[in-house]
Structure 1
Amino acid sequence: MASITLPPAEVGMIGRVRETQCAKIVPPPASTSLAGQTVIITGSNVGIGLDCARQMLDLNLSHLIMAVRRPDNAEEAAAPLRQAHPKARIEVWHLDMLSYDSIQAFARQCATLERLDVAILNAGVTKASFEINSSTRHEEIFQVNYLSTALLAILLLPILKNKSPAGTPGRLALVSSGLGLQAEFPNRNAVPLIPSFDDATGWGISMAGDRYNITKLLLYMFVLKISECVSAEDVVVNAVCPGFTKGSGLHRHLPVAARAVFGVLKTVIARPLETGAWAYLDAVLVKGKESHGSFVMNQQIHA
């Protein structure tokens, strides 16, 4: 499987990571200012999301909303940000990506904002075990990375359109991954498709890895399709890959042995945390309407 302009990966995960790490990633221009703006970042209490929040505050962001599943933990992460940026308004809002009720409540809360400029849907998960979410009755990787992310994106679109300044489109970035280019997607011909993700037959560590890849591939497709329904004059929507990054909390739910392997790989070939965050900033601050409906990887636009 592939995007429209990117071929499937034939080099495997390590090869894809090495290709990504060779790319030069640069920060936004020094003149970039987010003064007066409001930004939402989901999953921003750890890893790339947290560093992205820090960097946006360094660019004089006026209002940051950290959307997280566990507000108590996020308050600890927010404390040093508030200390470093006392003039910024930094809020922690509850958002459980395993609950449709929570997602809808979060969107209603967003609708009360006076202004909303940017939303970065960074929350994601990978795990080795097959688990059905008791609330939605769907497998959890598929639920969080695709179904819930797509729902939240759809709910935020009209808010971004109506709450961004006149003449300036809102910005919505969904965090994807270049690993989507190597998804095997064995259930791609299932009819209907969604229930096939809730079948544990043959589940193992390799299938769990491919499930993550599939969800990121589905986000390419979603962004491409939703861009046909939303004008770039209203909201610019794209998908962005941060690359394999040190300090990411993505693998924290894997078994100890798997975490150890990823820990070694991150030490040897992963990008610094701030570089992964630069990819996010590039997608929502540097890239313009030309990126609408596209996948941005290594700061290059792929339609």
Structure 2
Amino acid sequence: MASKDLPPRTEAFFPTIFYKTQFCEKHAGLPLGLTLLSKVAIVTGSNVGLGFESARQLLALNLSHLILAVRSTEKGEQAASQLRAQFPHAKIEVWKLDMCSYSSIQEFAFRVDADLTRLDIALLNAGLVKPSYTVVKETGHEETVQVNYLSTVLLALLLIPSLCTKRPPGGQPGRLTMVNSGLSLVGKLPLNPKKPEQPILQSFDNKENFSSTSWYNNSKTLMHLFLWKLSEYLHADDVIVNIVDPGYVKGTEGVSKMPKLTAMMAKSFAALTGRTVQVGASTYVDAVAVKGKESHCCFLTSWRIHPFAPFLYTPKGKTLIEKLWQETLAELKFAKPEALLSAKSLRDAEAGHDGGFRDFIHPNVEDRE
């Protein structure tokens, strides 16, 4: 069953959920004979940590062409050189992608459309944990929500046409996976109950609402709302889209961005309970290479399909889903998101009439002003 069709989790104590998913669910392993030979994949935020390890694991499955999408091409090339030494027969490229810039995201998507003849997998791993409130100058939004939600949604929407069109005739649907977190289950929207009409995205831009301990969780919860609604627009026959929680993983750089005391506590807790980076990255590989149409628009954690955040299943939650969807479309209107998700457009693109998509993907700064 899809995440939205499952009953919401009812555990009153989040550590109970953490214990069950972190320790009680095990990886079944990869299917015998699984290979990614001839396939092309993009992995964002892939020069370190889970992104780098998941790229390595995909290459170990005979992936033919890998694109490391990173903000620093210098650091990306350092990572690529390690992977090229281990997998000399694969084509490994480094492409620049700044998730704090709509222009950079559009340029990246346009390059995908122009330069690639095939695209099978897009793993959107780039994410952010910030200990303080910071505004992205280009967009005016708080940086954590900008990267973890708005920019990730934009990149996903812009890659969907390529994932539809750049596959072999009769081949499997493209795979689009966005990295999420188990903490999204306890995330909340920082809305003022006395002002229910307040826009959701605007509430995240209010510095007074910022909390270094919960902001990351809240930003990841937003993707649950988006994915619930996306299921009404996008069919698994076109592209299989899901979000994945790697579990609590030790040895990643996310801890370094936390406040010092929080980081120290997180490191100690990770030493006792954390998964290795290799195990965490295996959840990514499972999401993009093992899971099929049954995982479309689902929340995956510990290699299983799980329900979304509990409040989505309430009448208020349904209202918030619709509200965030409309706000997101308005924020990204320069990319014409509704046209990108049009069933007719996707079918036309798959049939080879995809020229119109270039009008949406091509960077156009004037449309954003």
With the shorter chain as reference, the TM-score category is over 0.9
Shift in Å at residue 215 of structure 1? 1.6
Measured at CA, do residues 8 and 216 of structure 1 come closer, stay the same or move farther in structure 2, by a change above 3 Å?
farther
Instruction: Give the Cα separation in 2 of the matches to 1:182 and 1:278.
Output: 24
Residue in 1 that maps onto 2:286:
282
Residue in 1 that maps onto 2:12:
10
Residue in 2 that maps onto 1:152:
155
Q: Specify every segment of 5 or more residues in structure 1 that has no aligned partner in the other structure, as ranges.
A: none
Instruction: Give the Cα separation in 2 of the matches to 1:259 and 1:77.
Output: 25
Q: Return the TM-score normalized by structure 1.
A: 0.93
Shift in Å at residue 242 of structure 1? 0.6
Shift in Å at residue 135 of structure 1? 1.3
Matching residue's letter, 2:58: M
Residue in 2 that maps onto 1:65:
67
Residue in 1 that maps onto 2:361:
none
Matching residue's letter, 1:186: P
Instruction: Show the 5 A alignment for 1:97-246.
Output: 97-112=99-114, 113-167=116-170, 168-187=172-191, 189=196, 191-203=198-210, 207-246=211-250
Instruction: Show the 5 A alignment for 1:13-92.
Output: 14-22=15-23, 23-92=25-94
- Contact 2:191/2:198 (<8 A) preserved: no
Equivalent residue pairs, number? 298
Shift in Å at residue 265 of structure 1? 1.4
- Contact 2:43/2:51 (<8 A) preserved: yes
Instruction: Give the Cα separation in 2 of the matches to 1:186 and 1:133.
Output: 19
Shift in Å at residue 184 of structure 1? 3.0
Matching residue's letter, 2:134: E
Percent pairwise identity = 44
Residue in 2 that maps onto 1:255:
259
Instruction: Give the Cα separation in 1 of the matches to 2:213 and 2:52.
Output: 24
Matching residue's letter, 1:226: L
- Contact 2:135/2:143 (<8 A) preserved: yes
Instruction: Give the Cα separation in 2 of the matches to 1:8 and 1:218.
Output: 20
Alignment RMSD (CA, Å): 1.8
Task: Decide which moves more: 223-232 or 47-56.
Answer: 223-232
Q: Return the TM-score normalized by structure 2.
A: 0.77
Task: Decide which moves more: 183-192 or 135-144.
Answer: 183-192
Task: Decide which moves more: 234-243 or 194-203.
Answer: 194-203
Instruction: Give the Cα separation in 2 of the matches to 1:51 and 1:27.
Output: 16
Instruction: Give the Cα separation in 2 of the matches to 1:297 and 1:101.
Output: 32
Instruction: Give the Cα separation in 2 of the matches to 1:210 and 1:55.
Output: 31
Cα deviation, 1:64-101, whole Å, max 9, x if unaligned, reads 00111111112111111100111100111111000000
Q: Which SS does the other structure have where 1:231 is aligned?
A: coil
Task: Decide which moves more: 277-286 or 17-26.
Answer: 17-26
